[in-house]
Amino acid sequence: MTIDEEKITLLEIKKAAEWAKEAGQEAKPIDGLNRQYKQSIWDCGTSCCMWGAASIATGNGPALAGPTLEWTMQSLLHVCVAGLLNSRSSTPEQMLELLSSARLSGADLRGADLSGAKVLIGNIYRIIQ
């Protein structure tokens, strides 16, 4: 099944991160079903299920792969979000910090591989894996 990535906005990713933050402790409804945020049991192609949660919440159903290059290259913030989505060690809290605190206007990093890059989130540097 192909998902409609236009429905998955940064706001939807933020909502998914908010859900994941709460659903890491106990199952919470997302699509009429109670689901729990656990990276290891989702069918989404990313190591983190926030993309899958955003896909489900927007009516696309479970994602079988992470964001496409086209989705990722919309802006520098999309690049950073995709970096966290594909990082085994990212957390919902990091995604929420990024989407709440990032000031990336004017920067153009299209085509950049950010793996290993240090990103300042709030007042803490995180390394994108």
Q: Which range is least confidently modeled, 35-39, 67-71, 96-100, 114-118?
A: 114-118
Is 48 a member of any domain? Answer: yes
Instruction: Give the residue among 48, 94, 49, 69 at the shortest CA–CA distance from 5.
Output: 69
DSSP for 41-77, please give it: G--SSSSSTHHHHHHHHTTS-S-SS---HHHHTT-HH
For the chain, state the CA radius of gyration.
Answer: 14
Whole domain around residue 27: which residue ranges? 5-57
List, for residues 38-83, the tens digit of each pLDDT value: 765 555 544 458 888 899 889 988 887 888 889 988 888 898 898 8
Are 51 and 11 contained in the same domain? yes
Domain count of the fold of the chain: 2
Between CA 92 and CA 83 the distance in angstroms is 13
70-77-18 Cα angle (round to 5): 105
